[in-house]
């Protein structure tokens, strides 16, 4: 059961950052429940076009309500960006928005298995039509692999201890529910972070791993830059440090000239131009937005613009 509607984070700021042209072609890489997409469509003219992606079948179903000829929703991960655009005859786009992480419906619906607030099957997949569930992976993974996932994706200091406890618990049957997993972690972690459930980092790590969220992000960013027209904007909203680190480093590297060997006799005028230019500083939600939607607290938005070749 979904307990709260999805509230789109940084809605006004993200759409403004795209600098929308009425006849432009835009991509919403993470449709969710369509908050950003609807705001983009409101600024597009009759010749404008919006292509959106989402892996979640429920998001795809929600998108059917839009019913706008300028809009198309693709059931695919955004790492399929270049292929999906090529299939639709789109060579260049004027802006791309990526609102990363999970949506409130995914967290608040018990059956998705993404939250320890409900005792439910341990699924965690964004796309429930394909791939391995968290429970299926935990049923077979060795201690070393579970440790690596919890440490790398959850920055969990007790990763090894939790991994050992999960594997030990398998002797009594699979760790099949969110309640079982949360109880194992709670019994293992002896030092608590103030205001945070001890299973928070474990659930985050498994969700990111199951959905390959960081790999997906690393795959799509170069595709976006290749497809952006000169002056086109890339806008990315991240919700935790692992995502933001990838985005920050990518934008930084693409906004610098290529690194050439030392002492190579090349004039500055002959150097290839950077592909991106950074636009402003990082943007965070206002105090008012955080008060209205506490889940927006960790959001960070970064903006870059495609430079002419």
pLDDT tens, 198-215? Answer: 999 999 999 999 999 999
pLDDT at 260: 62
Fold of 128-210: DNA polymerase; domain 1 (1.10.150)
User: Residue 29 annotated as binding?
Assistant: no
Fold of 11-105+213-306: Rossmann fold (3.40.50)
pTM attached to this predicted model: 0.89
pLDDT at 1: 39
Domain-wise residue ranges, the chain: 11-105+213-306, 128-210
pLDDT at 2: 42
pLDDT at 33: 86
Label residue 84 by pLDDT band (50, 70, 90).
very high
Condensed to tens digits (0 to 9), the pLDDT of residues 213-225 reads 999 999 999 999 9
pLDDT at 173: 81
Condensed to tens digits (0 to 9), the pLDDT of residues 3-59 reads 445 678 899 999 999 999 999 999 999 998 889 999 999 999 999 999 999 999 988
Select the more confidently predicted residue: 95 or 114.
95
Q: Parallel, antiparallel, or unpaired: how do β-strands 93-99 and 228-238 relate?
A: parallel
User: Residue 56 annotated as binding?
Assistant: no
User: Residue 6 annotated as binding?
Assistant: no
Whole-number mean pLDDT of the chain?
A: 90
Condensed to tens digits (0 to 9), the pLDDT of residues 98-137 reads 999 876 666 667 667 778 888 899 999 999 899 999 999 9
pLDDT at 296: 87
User: Residue 106 annotated as binding?
Assistant: yes
Condensed to tens digits (0 to 9), the pLDDT of residues 224-248 reads 999 999 999 999 999 999 999 999 9
User: Residue 78 annotated as binding?
Assistant: yes
Condensed to tens digits (0 to 9), the pLDDT of residues 251-279 reads 999 998 766 666 666 655 556 789 999 99
User: Residue 45 annotated as binding?
Assistant: no
User: Residue 145 annotated as binding?
Assistant: no
pLDDT at 194: 80
pLDDT at 127: 92
């Amino acid at each position: 059961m979904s307990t709260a509607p999805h509230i789109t984070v940084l809605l006004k700021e993200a759409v403004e950052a795209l600098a929308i042209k009425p006849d432009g072609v835009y991509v919403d890489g993470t449709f969710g429940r369509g908050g950003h997409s609807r705001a983009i469509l409101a600024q597009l003219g009759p010749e404008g076009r919006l292509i959106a992606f989402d892996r979640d079948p429920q998001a795809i179903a929600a998108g059917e309500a839009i019913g706008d000829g300028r809009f198309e929703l693709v059931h695919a991960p955004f790492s399929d960006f270049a292929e999906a655009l090529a299939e639709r005859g789109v060579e260049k786009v004027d802006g791309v928005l990526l609102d990363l992480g999970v949506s409130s419906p995914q967290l608040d619906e018990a059956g998705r298995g993404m939250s320890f607030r409900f005792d439910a099957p341990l699924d965690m997949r964004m796309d429930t039509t394909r791939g391995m569930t968290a429970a299926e992976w935990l049923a077979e993974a060795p201690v070393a692999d579970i440790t690596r996932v919890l440490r790398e994706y959850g920055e969990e200091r007790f990763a090894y201890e939790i991994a050992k406890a999960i594997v030990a618990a398998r002797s009594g049957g699979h760790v099949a529910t969110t309640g079982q997993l949360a109880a194992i972690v709670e019994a293992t972690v002896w030092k608590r972070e103030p205001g945070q459930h001890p299973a928070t980092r474990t659930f985050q790590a498994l969700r990111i791993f199951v959905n390959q969220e960081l790999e997906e992000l690393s795959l799509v960013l170069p595709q976006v830059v290749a497809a952006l027209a000169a002056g086109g904007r890339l806008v990315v909203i991240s919700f935790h440090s692992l995502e933001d680190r990838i985005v920050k480093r990518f934008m930084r590297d693409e906004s610098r000239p290529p690194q050439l060997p030392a002492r190579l006799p090349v004039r500055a005028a002959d150097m290839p131009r950077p592909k991106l230019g950074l636009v402003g500083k990082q943007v965070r939600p206002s105090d008012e937005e955080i008060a209205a939607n506490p889940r927006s607290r960790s959001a960070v938005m970064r903006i870059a613009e495609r430079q002419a070749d």
